[in-house]
A = this chain, B = another copy of it.
């Protein structure tokens, strides 16, 4: 049995110029919130499940008393218009735990989308940490596979060239492998700070994406969560005044070497 494999949920549907939207666990849970929202709102249909021994050795306990081996799942959302693409969603419980595993799993995701689903464009979604206070209108940062894709999205409110450092995990590797295989793609990152589950950043990414894909979305449930988080933050502020530890600028994204700003250990 292979280390990493994709189990099909019956025969794969035939898709029209599909685009892939990837939202896995990561910074601010931004990507996962967006894809889970699309999945639920449009009742996307599960078509395949990816398992890997590079995922954590964990089994999720379900509310009904059942279990699920942690995995990544592909869903399909058929377009109702002739003009727009079918959409493939990828979300899941986890990401691979080692660098070797990340390369293997993400390469398989790109190969599957390209060879089995004949896809050609990929959106990966994530958060981008900015130090400081919570943004009321979070920006969406972008990094893309080519300058022509950068230029295509620049006019749509996405900020290019301000995000620095490196993108960790699936959000980065999937568009890197897409590029190496002659596909195009973009990583969209919602501006976030120290919030673990940032619905506000997710909403910013979702709205931008919906507009691009011609989807009409209802963000009522996100608004409720945003309100709830804001309330929690307010209470916390009152309780602990100024003692919340702030992460360093860009720390969450930077796995590399910000040498220009660091001279002393």
Interface residues in chain A, defined as those with a beta carbon under 8 Å from any beta carbon in chain B: 1, 3, 25, 29, 53-70, 93-94, 96-104, 106-107, 142-147, 150, 154, 160-161, 163-169, 172-173, 175-177, 179-180, 187, 194-197, 229, 232-233, 236, 244, 247, 253, 255-257, 259-260, 262-265
Q: Is B100 a contact partner of A3 (Cβ separation < 8 A)?
A: yes
Q: Is A179 a contact partner of B100 (Cβ separation < 8 A)?
A: no
Oligomeric state, in number of copies? Answer: 4
Q: Is B143 a contact partner of A69 (Cβ separation < 8 A)?
A: no
In the complex, what distance in Å separates the CA atom of A255 from the CA atom of B59? 9
In the complex, what distance in Å separates the CA atom of A168 from the CA atom of B99? 20
CB-nearest residue of chain B to A60: B166
> Out of B55, B68, B167, B173, which one reaches A99, CB within 8 Å?
B55
In the complex, what distance in Å separates the CA atom of A153 from the CA atom of B65? 11
In the complex, what distance in Å separates the CA atom of A168 from the CA atom of B100? 21
In the complex, what distance in Å separates the CA atom of A142 from the CA atom of B168? 36
Please give me the 9 A-B residue pairs with the lowest Cβ-Cβ distance, nearest first.
A59-B172, A65-B160, A57-B102, A53-B103, A58-B166, A65-B150, A69-B176, A59-B167, A57-B99
Q: Is A66 a contact partner of B175 (Cβ separation < 8 A)?
A: no
> Out of B61, B97, B102, B194, which one reaches A163, CB within 8 Å?
B61
Q: Is A173 a contact partner of B256 (Cβ separation < 8 A)?
A: no
> Out of B1, B187, B197, B259, which one reaches A197, CB within 8 Å?
B259
Q: Is A56 a contact partner of B255 (Cβ separation < 8 A)?
A: yes
Q: Is B161 a contact partner of A263 (Cβ separation < 8 A)?
A: no
In the complex, what distance in Å separates the CA atom of A1 from the CA atom of B4? 14
Q: Is A59 a contact partner of B175 (Cβ separation < 8 A)?
A: yes
Q: Chain B contacts of A94 at CB under 8 A?
A: 256
A47 → chain B closest CB, angstroms: 18
**Most chain B beta-carbon neighbours within 10 Å: one of A59, A62, A64, A255:** A59
Q: Is A61 a contact partner of B262 (Cβ separation < 8 A)?
A: no
Q: Is A142 a contact partner of B70 (Cβ separation < 8 A)?
A: no
Q: Chain B contacts of A57 at CB under 8 A?
A: 96, 99, 102-103, 106, 168-169, 172-173
